[in-house]
Amino acid sequence: MITIGSTVIALDDPRLWAAAAAILVAVLLLRASARAARATEPLARHLLELDGAVRALNDGQQQLHGGITHVAEAQAAAQARVAASMESRLAEVTRAMGDSLGASAQRTAHSLGELQQRLSAIDKAQTNIEKLSGDVLGLQDILSNKQTRGAFGEIQLREIVTRALPPDAATFQTTLSNGTRADCLIHLPLPPGPIVVDAKFPLEAYEALRGAKGPAELAAAGRGMRTAIRAHIKAISEKYIIEGETAEGALMFLPSEAVYAELHANFADLVREGFAARVWIVSPTTCMATLHTLRAVLKDARMRAEAHAIRRELGLLYKDVERLSARVGNLDRHFGQAQKDIEEIRISADRAHGRARRLEAIDFTPEADLDEPTASVNITRLPGVSS
């Protein structure tokens, strides 16, 4: 390709070669004319040379045209191979990209599904947390008031007692002879007698103990805890242990396992003081175990109370068994007599059957003369039958 200004001319263009040839001819003609002007003798020789040059130029033009054609064909084949390779590579890249996009879409859909499930679980957990937060706030409101806190302990005590004991084994809010009202009175037989269970919840002292910072606050909170527990032990010992009416001891119910554990872990002297005052401190767990023990005591007492009735029923049962044995003996004798009668009846039936067979064997032969009033009877003697 040859570029002249803004014009592009191909090397295999015949016009290019024609113009070149014309220019060359003109140049040669000019040179020949110049030489002819100087000398006419070598004109023929120059013409021959010009003719050979033109022929050589024509041959070169043909060779150049063939080479250019071959180069163009090779270039076209190379371009075709490159285009085919590019199309194949493009198809492979497109297919790989499609597979990758499909797999990515599946993974994205799966991830979105899992994300949606997790978001649903988070929403449910958030709802539960909000509900639990409301319950905690409600519980804090309940525990912040002494009256509602006392009602909370009484309700928990009632729930435990009703689950562990029979309905008639305990009464709630019972007024004793001294005018005090017990949260729960368990009706045990004498001894030991009815035992009182009173619910106490020293929450302020426990919270002060848990929130104490430094040795001074911890010591002050410990003194407050001891004061509160001693006051509860003294009140229960004075109000709910009545000689001749209740048992010699009473139970102080703590509706919190944490307070109970703190008391036994760091205030063992208060527990011993309770034992000395015959006031036993219990938590929801230990109260349930104690009530199951009391249930066994109630069951044993009821068994002893009903022992005479059981003995009476056993005596009646023994008489019934003796009467049944006598009647079975009578029935056996009746069965023996019936069997004997059946055997005798069978013997009589066999004899009657034998006589019936003998009667069937009798031959009644009629007389020839019907006028005769008598008839002779021919009796065939049967073996074993006398005449």
Q: For residue 285, name the pLDDT band (cuts at 50, 70, 90).
A: confident
For the cut 60, the answer to whether the pLDDT of residue 380 exceeds it is no
Is cis: bond before 192, omega within 30 of 0? yes
Which residue matches tokens 């030489």? 35
According to the model, what pLDDT value does residue 3 have? 56
According to the model, what pLDDT value does residue 186 have? 87
What is the average pLDDT value for the chain, to the nearest integer? 77
According to the model, what pLDDT value does residue 360 have? 76
Q: Which residues does 262 contact at the CB level (< 8 Å), separation at least 6?
A: 206, 209, 225
| pLDDT (mean) for 300-319 | 80
Q: How far, in Å, CA of 177 to CA of 344, rounded?
A: 85
Which residue matches tokens 């009646």? 316
Q: Are 170 and 183 in contact (CB under 8 A)?
A: no
**Read out DSSP for 61-92?**
HHHHHHHHHHHHHHHHHHHHHHHHHHHHHHHH
Q: How far, in Å, CA of 256 to CA of 209, rounded?
A: 15
For the cut 80, the answer to whether the pLDDT of residue 220 exceeds it is yes
Q: Are 183 and 201 in contact (CB under 8 A)?
A: no
* DSSP β-bridge partners for residue 198: 252
According to the model, what pLDDT value does residue 384 have? 43
| pLDDT (mean) for 35-61 | 68
Is cis: bond before 166, omega within 30 of 0? no
According to the model, what pLDDT value does residue 313 have? 84
According to the model, what pLDDT value does residue 153 have? 74
CA nearest 280: which of 266, 303, 263? 263
Q: How far, in Å, CA of 232 to CA of 273, rounded?
A: 11
User: Cβ–Cβ contacts within 10 Å for residue 143, how many?
Assistant: 17
For the cut 60, the answer to whether the pLDDT of residue 62 exceeds it is yes
Q: How far, in Å, CA of 234 to CA of 162, rounded?
A: 27
359 CA to centre of own chain: 93
Q: How far, in Å, CA of 1 to CA of 252, rounded?
A: 115
Q: Domains of the chain: which residue ranges? A: 146-305
Question: How many Cα neighbours within 13 Å face the side chain of 24?
Answer: 16
Q: Are 11 and 64 in contact (CB under 8 A)?
A: yes
For the cut 50, the answer to whether the pLDDT of residue 379 exceeds it is no
Dihedral (CA of 234, 238, 244, 247) sign: negative
Q: How far, in Å, CA of 114 to CA of 116, rounded?
A: 5
Q: How far, in Å, CA of 230 to CA of 162, rounded?
A: 29
Dihedral (CA of 276, 280, 283, 288) sign: positive
For the cut 80, the answer to whether the pLDDT of residue 11 exceeds it is no
Which residue matches tokens 């180069």? 71
CA nearest 247: which of 294, 300, 305, 179? 294
User: First CA to last CA across the chain, in angstroms?
Assistant: 169
Q: Are 137 and 144 in contact (CB under 8 A)?
A: no
Burial of 204 (0-12, 13-18, 19+ CB in 10 A): middle
According to the model, what pLDDT value does residue 242 have? 87
